[in-house]
Protein backbone atom coordinates (compact mmCIF):
# COMPACT_ATOMS: atom_id res chain seq x y z
CA UNK A 1 0.00 0.00 0.00
CA UNK A 2 1.31 3.42 -0.94
CA UNK A 3 2.50 5.64 1.89
CA UNK A 4 0.27 8.54 2.90
CA UNK A 5 2.26 11.67 3.70
CA UNK A 6 0.32 14.82 4.55
CA UNK A 7 2.26 18.10 4.58
CA UNK A 8 0.67 21.03 6.43
CA UNK A 9 2.68 24.23 5.98
CA UNK A 10 2.09 27.81 7.02
CA UNK A 11 3.28 30.69 9.21
CA UNK A 12 3.50 30.69 12.99
CA UNK A 13 0.20 30.91 14.84
CA UNK A 14 -1.88 29.62 11.94
CA UNK A 15 -2.81 26.53 13.94
CA UNK A 16 -0.72 24.01 11.99
CA UNK A 17 0.26 21.81 14.93
CA UNK A 18 -3.23 21.65 16.40
CA UNK A 19 -4.86 20.88 13.06
CA UNK A 20 -2.16 18.39 12.09
CA UNK A 21 -2.71 16.48 15.34
CA UNK A 22 -6.47 16.45 14.76
CA UNK A 23 -6.06 15.24 11.17
CA UNK A 24 -3.63 12.51 12.20
CA UNK A 25 -6.00 11.33 14.92
CA UNK A 26 -8.97 11.31 12.52
CA UNK A 27 -7.05 9.24 9.97
CA UNK A 28 -5.42 6.97 12.53
CA UNK A 29 -1.84 7.82 11.53
CA UNK A 30 1.16 9.35 13.30
CA UNK A 31 1.84 13.08 13.64
CA UNK A 32 5.33 14.60 13.50
CA UNK A 33 5.85 18.10 14.92
CA UNK A 34 8.89 19.19 12.91
CA UNK A 35 9.11 22.56 14.63
CA UNK A 36 9.78 20.76 17.90
CA UNK A 37 12.92 19.30 16.36
CA UNK A 38 14.33 22.75 15.56
CA UNK A 39 13.30 24.03 18.97
CA UNK A 40 15.25 21.18 20.55
CA UNK A 41 18.36 22.05 18.55
CA UNK A 42 17.92 25.69 19.52
CA UNK A 43 17.56 24.73 23.18
CA UNK A 44 20.84 22.82 22.94
CA UNK A 45 22.57 25.91 21.54
CA UNK A 46 21.11 28.08 24.29
CA UNK A 47 22.21 25.63 26.96
CA UNK A 48 25.75 25.87 25.64
CA UNK A 49 25.62 29.66 25.88
CA UNK A 50 25.99 30.18 22.15
CA UNK A 51 24.79 33.18 20.15
CA UNK A 52 22.98 32.98 16.82
CA UNK A 53 25.90 34.58 15.00
CA UNK A 54 28.37 31.93 16.23
CA UNK A 55 27.67 29.76 13.22
CA UNK A 56 30.79 27.61 13.30
CA UNK A 57 30.29 26.77 16.98
CA UNK A 58 26.63 25.90 16.38
CA UNK A 59 27.56 23.67 13.45
CA UNK A 60 30.15 21.91 15.60
CA UNK A 61 27.53 21.40 18.32
CA UNK A 62 25.04 19.95 15.82
CA UNK A 63 27.54 17.28 14.84
CA UNK A 64 27.57 16.02 18.44
CA UNK A 65 23.82 16.08 19.13
CA UNK A 66 21.91 12.87 19.77
CA UNK A 67 18.40 13.92 18.78
CA UNK A 68 15.55 11.45 18.46
CA UNK A 69 11.78 11.59 18.04
CA UNK A 70 9.74 9.36 20.36
CA UNK A 71 6.15 8.33 19.62
CA UNK A 72 4.05 6.91 22.43
CA UNK A 73 0.46 6.90 23.71
CA UNK A 74 0.82 10.59 24.60
CA UNK A 75 1.94 11.60 21.13
CA UNK A 76 5.40 12.88 20.27
CA UNK A 77 8.33 13.91 22.44
CA UNK A 78 11.88 14.91 21.60
CA UNK A 79 14.88 13.27 23.21
CA UNK A 80 18.05 15.33 23.30
CA UNK A 81 21.15 13.42 24.36
CA UNK A 82 18.89 10.91 26.12
CA UNK A 83 16.74 13.50 27.91
CA UNK A 84 13.04 13.81 27.12
CA UNK A 85 12.42 17.54 26.73
CA UNK A 86 8.65 17.80 27.08
CA UNK A 87 7.51 21.42 27.44
CA UNK A 88 11.04 22.76 27.79
CA UNK A 89 10.97 23.54 24.06
CA UNK A 90 7.78 25.64 24.33
CA UNK A 91 9.37 28.88 25.49
CA UNK A 92 9.73 32.17 23.54
CA UNK A 93 13.50 31.70 23.66
CA UNK A 94 13.22 28.25 22.06
CA UNK A 95 10.92 29.70 19.41
CA UNK A 96 13.37 32.46 18.50
CA UNK A 97 16.23 29.99 18.45
CA UNK A 98 14.24 27.65 16.20
CA UNK A 99 13.97 30.41 13.59
CA UNK A 100 17.65 31.32 13.89
CA UNK A 101 19.00 27.80 13.81
CA UNK A 102 16.70 26.64 11.01
CA UNK A 103 18.42 29.15 8.71
CA UNK A 104 21.67 27.20 8.97
CA UNK A 105 22.08 24.67 6.13
CA UNK A 106 23.83 22.22 8.47
CA UNK A 107 20.86 22.17 10.84
CA UNK A 108 18.26 21.99 8.10
CA UNK A 109 20.03 19.12 6.31
CA UNK A 110 20.29 17.21 9.59
CA UNK A 111 16.60 17.65 10.43
CA UNK A 112 15.34 17.01 6.92
CA UNK A 113 17.27 13.75 6.72
CA UNK A 114 15.64 12.57 9.97
CA UNK A 115 12.18 13.71 8.85
CA UNK A 116 12.49 11.89 5.54
CA UNK A 117 13.59 8.69 7.28
CA UNK A 118 10.58 8.86 9.57
CA UNK A 119 8.21 9.53 6.66
CA UNK A 120 9.66 6.67 4.62
CA UNK A 121 8.73 4.10 7.23
CA UNK A 122 5.14 5.02 8.10
CA UNK A 123 2.08 7.04 7.18
CA UNK A 124 2.64 10.48 8.64
CA UNK A 125 1.20 13.97 9.04
CA UNK A 126 3.95 16.61 9.20
CA UNK A 127 3.59 20.31 9.82
CA UNK A 128 6.15 23.04 9.33
CA UNK A 129 7.12 25.75 6.91
CA UNK A 130 8.78 23.83 4.08
CA UNK A 131 7.35 20.30 4.27
CA UNK A 132 5.57 20.24 0.93
CA UNK A 133 8.11 22.41 -0.86
CA UNK A 134 11.39 20.91 0.37
CA UNK A 135 11.20 18.13 2.96
CA UNK A 136 8.67 15.96 1.11
CA UNK A 137 8.10 17.51 -2.32
CA UNK A 138 6.40 14.26 -3.38
CA UNK A 139 3.95 14.23 -0.46
CA UNK A 140 0.55 12.96 -1.53
CA UNK A 141 -1.32 15.79 0.21
CA UNK A 142 -0.11 19.39 0.65
CA UNK A 143 -2.03 22.02 2.60
CA UNK A 144 -1.02 25.61 3.34
CA UNK A 145 -2.80 26.78 6.49
CA UNK A 146 -2.92 30.55 6.92
CA UNK A 147 -4.62 33.25 8.99
CA UNK A 148 -4.32 37.01 9.37
CA UNK A 149 -1.46 38.34 11.49
CA UNK A 150 -3.89 39.80 14.04
CA UNK A 151 -5.74 36.50 14.31
CA UNK A 152 -2.51 34.57 14.76
CA UNK A 153 -1.36 37.00 17.45
CA UNK A 154 -4.64 36.64 19.36
CA UNK A 155 -4.32 32.88 19.29
CA UNK A 156 -0.77 33.01 20.61
CA UNK A 157 -1.45 35.63 23.29
CA UNK A 158 -2.82 33.29 25.97
CA UNK A 159 0.11 30.93 25.46
CA UNK A 160 2.65 33.77 25.66
CA UNK A 161 1.03 35.32 28.75
CA UNK A 162 1.59 32.09 30.64
CA UNK A 163 5.30 32.85 30.26
CA UNK A 164 5.22 36.66 30.08
CA UNK A 165 2.22 38.32 31.81
CA UNK A 166 3.11 41.61 30.10
CA UNK A 167 2.67 40.20 26.59
CA UNK A 168 0.14 42.00 24.37
CA UNK A 169 -1.45 41.29 21.01
CA UNK A 170 0.85 43.95 19.56
CA UNK A 171 4.03 42.45 21.01
CA UNK A 172 3.08 38.95 19.90
CA UNK A 173 2.20 40.26 16.43
CA UNK A 174 5.64 41.89 16.17
CA UNK A 175 7.34 38.62 17.09
CA UNK A 176 5.23 36.70 14.56
CA UNK A 177 5.92 39.25 11.80
CA UNK A 178 9.64 39.00 12.51
CA UNK A 179 9.47 35.21 12.33
CA UNK A 180 7.47 35.42 9.09
CA UNK A 181 10.21 37.54 7.51
CA UNK A 182 12.94 35.24 8.79
CA UNK A 183 11.23 32.16 7.42
CA UNK A 184 10.13 33.65 4.10
CA UNK A 185 13.45 35.30 3.25
CA UNK A 186 15.88 32.55 4.23
CA UNK A 187 17.90 31.27 1.30
CA UNK A 188 17.40 27.56 1.94
CA UNK A 189 13.85 26.15 1.88
CA UNK A 190 11.89 29.30 2.71
CA UNK A 191 8.28 29.41 3.81
CA UNK A 192 6.24 29.33 0.60
CA UNK A 193 2.80 28.33 -0.63
CA UNK A 194 3.52 26.37 -3.82
CA UNK A 195 1.01 25.78 -6.64
CA UNK A 196 0.69 22.21 -5.34
CA UNK A 197 -0.54 23.38 -1.94
CA UNK A 198 -4.23 23.75 -1.19
CA UNK A 199 -4.49 27.03 0.76
CA UNK A 200 -6.95 27.22 3.65
CA UNK A 201 -7.49 30.49 5.56
CA UNK A 202 -8.57 29.78 9.13
CA UNK A 203 -9.20 33.42 10.11
CA UNK A 204 -12.34 33.59 12.22
CA UNK A 205 -12.75 29.83 12.37
CA UNK A 206 -12.63 27.59 15.42
CA UNK A 207 -10.29 24.61 15.64
CA UNK A 208 -13.23 22.28 15.01
CA UNK A 209 -14.31 24.26 11.94
CA UNK A 210 -10.82 24.35 10.47
CA UNK A 211 -10.28 20.65 11.15
CA UNK A 212 -13.56 19.83 9.43
CA UNK A 213 -12.58 21.97 6.42
CA UNK A 214 -9.20 20.28 6.08
CA UNK A 215 -10.61 16.78 6.44
CA UNK A 216 -13.47 17.46 4.03
CA UNK A 217 -10.99 18.55 1.38
CA UNK A 218 -8.76 15.52 1.96
CA UNK A 219 -11.71 13.14 1.76
CA UNK A 220 -13.02 14.77 -1.42
CA UNK A 221 -9.70 14.91 -3.24
CA UNK A 222 -8.10 11.63 -2.16
CA UNK A 223 -10.91 9.13 -1.45
CA UNK A 224 -8.84 6.14 -2.59
CA UNK A 225 -6.01 6.90 -0.13
CA UNK A 226 -8.41 7.29 2.76
CA UNK A 227 -10.35 4.18 1.77
CA UNK A 228 -7.12 2.17 1.79
CA UNK A 229 -6.39 3.30 5.37
CA UNK A 230 -9.93 2.58 6.54
CA UNK A 231 -9.83 -0.90 5.02
CA UNK A 232 -6.41 -1.62 6.57
CA UNK A 233 -7.58 -0.47 10.01
CA UNK A 234 -10.69 -2.66 9.78
CA UNK A 235 -8.61 -5.69 8.81
CA UNK A 236 -6.10 -5.09 11.60
CA UNK A 237 -8.92 -4.77 14.07
CA UNK A 238 -10.33 -8.03 13.34
Grouping H, G, I as helix, E, B as strand and the rest as coil, residue 70 is strand
Identify the CATH number of the domain in which residue 59 sits: 3.40.50.300
Kindly report the number of other CB atoms within 10 A of residue 146's CB atom: 18
Beta bridge partners of 125: 6, 31
Is the overall model pTM greater than 0.85, yes or no? no
Q: Is residue 218 part of a domain?
A: no
Q: Is residue 209 part of a domain?
A: no
Q: What range defines the domain where residue 21 resides? A: 5-203
Tens digit of each residue's pLDDT (9 = 90 or more) over 185-195:
888 888 999 99
Q: Is residue 216 part of a domain?
A: no
CA distance 39 to 43: 6
Give me the pLDDT at residue 61, please.
94
Per-residue pLDDT of the chain (238 residues; tens, 9 = 90+): 567 899 999 998 999 989 999 999 988 889 998 888 999 999 999 999 998 899 999 999 999 999 999 887 777 889 998 999 988 888 777 888 888 888 899 998 999 999 999 999 889 999 989 999 999 999 999 999 999 999 999 998 987 887 788 889 999 999 999 989 988 988 888 899 999 999 999 999 999 999 999 999 998 888 876 666 655 555 555 4
Number of domains in the chain: 1
Sheet holding 141-146, edge to edge: 30-33, 124-128, 5-9, 141-146, 198-201
Q: What is the mean pLDDT of the chain?
A: 88
Contact between 76 and 31 under an 8 Å Cβ cutoff? The reply is yes
Q: Is residue 211 part of a domain?
A: no
Amino acid sequence: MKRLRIAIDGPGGAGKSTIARRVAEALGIAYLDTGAMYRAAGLAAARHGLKAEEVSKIEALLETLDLAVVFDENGQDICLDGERLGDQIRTPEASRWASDISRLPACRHMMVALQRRLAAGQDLVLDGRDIGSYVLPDAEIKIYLDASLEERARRRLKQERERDPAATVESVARDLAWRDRQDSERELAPLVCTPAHHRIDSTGNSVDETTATVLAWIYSQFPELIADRTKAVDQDGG
